[in-house]
Amino acid sequence: MISVWESAIINAPAPEVWSLIRDFNGLPRWTPFVAASHIEDSLPADKIGCIRNFVLKDGAKIREQLLGLSDQDLSVTYAIVESPMGVTNYVSTLQLRPVTDSNQCFAEWGAHFDGPSGRDAELAETVGKGVFLTALRALKARFDV
């Protein structure tokens, strides 16, 4: 099992950042690598079990299922249904926590998954740095204006 985890301090209150990331269909609005996204079967983007189907700017297609969404915990949990990475048993959570001595929040994004034999380091780097950290840095930059 591969585990990855990345984090960032975002210069905005947690509820403000949450209003952007809680939209399970909103990746194109805050990640630099997602070109387009839609929720299958015209379901609401906050319905547990819905599938987001998105296309990366390089043309790769990914489908993910919403497993959990908590406005109280400011967290979203999802699983990959289809991906060109060849991962299985992929479950990921993105969560925000208020930083209580400032008007900021702590964002943490982690995942556990299995990958093809011999590709653990490559997949951990791709998911951790290439996806999570890249997206968190973009989110951070969005609020650093």
Domain borders along the chain are: 2-143
Entry pTM: 0.94
Q: Is the pLDDT of residue 145 over 80?
A: no
Containing 30, the helix (H) or strand (E) segment is: helix 27-30
What is the rounded distance in angstroms from the CA atom of residue 145 to the CA atom of residue 142? 7
Question: Whats the size of the chain, residue-wise?
Answer: 145
CB 14 within 8 A of CB 27: no
In the chain, the percentage of residues whose pLDDT exceeds 70 is 99
Look up the CATH number of domain 2-143: 3.30.530.20
Reported confidence tier of residue 144, pLDDT bands at 50, 70, 90: confident
* DSSP code at position 21: H
**Tens of pLDDT along 102-141?**
989 999 999 999 999 899 999 999 999 999 999 999 999 9
